[in-house]
Amino acid sequence: MDDREALDRFVAADAFARHLGVEVGSYGDGRATARLALRPEHLNSAGSAHGGVIFALADAAFAAASNSHGTLALAIEASISYFAAVREGVLVAEAREVACNPKLATYVIDVRDGSGARVAQMRGTVYRKRQRLAEVLA
């Protein structure tokens, strides 16, 4: 299995993201996008998107971007800031790599609403293992 096939399988295997309805779009070269159409079960008691749902969307983009080099990468730190409440529509997360070395890589993930307004920003660091994704998924 080549690196791209392994990455495709890795992204598709995220059962929790799939359960939430997250769709990972494009990914590669340290970048990724993911989208989520908000449903009633994604809302908190105040009627806005649950912070955990927004985090999970950002995390799916983070995972795809950080594993896009074909090396297994696992989060060791992540934090998120929320800027605006969203009650309906589609959210899009865009992850981009800001630093990468053989052991660590850091990413910024912006989450925007349907109008393009930023509703949250996640920052995360991964530990890059020696294993290739193809080895892990074999």
- What share of the chain in percent tops pLDDT 70? 100
Residue 122 CB partners (closer than 8 Å, separation 6+): 55, 58, 59, 62, 78, 79, 80, 81, 93, 108, 109, 111
Alpha-carbon distance of 73 to 83, in angstroms, equals 28
Whether pLDDT at 1 is above 90: no
Whether pLDDT at 138 is above 90: no
Q: What average pLDDT score do residues 55-62 get?
A: 98
| DSSP-assigned letters across all residues of 26-50 | EEETTEEEEEEE--GGGB-TTSSB-
Whether pLDDT at 121 is above 90: yes
> Measured on CA atoms in the order 40, 43, 48, 49, is the torsion positive or negative?
negative
The neighbour count for residue 43, using CB atoms within 10 Å, is: 16
CATH of the structural domain 3-137, one choice from 3.40.50.2300, 2.60.200.30, 3.40.50.300, 3.10.129.10: 3.10.129.10
Query: For the chain, what is the mean pLDDT?
Result: 97
Q: What average pLDDT score do residues 115-132 get?
A: 97
| Rg of the Cα atoms in the chain | 15
pLDDT confidence band for 92 (50 / 70 / 90):
very high
What residue spans define the domains of the chain? 3-137
Tens of pLDDT along 6-45? Answer: 999 999 999 999 999 999 999 999 999 999 999 999 999 9
> Measured on CA atoms in the order 121, 128, 13, 68, is the torsion positive or negative?
positive
Q: Tell if the pTM clears 0.75, that is, is over it.
A: yes
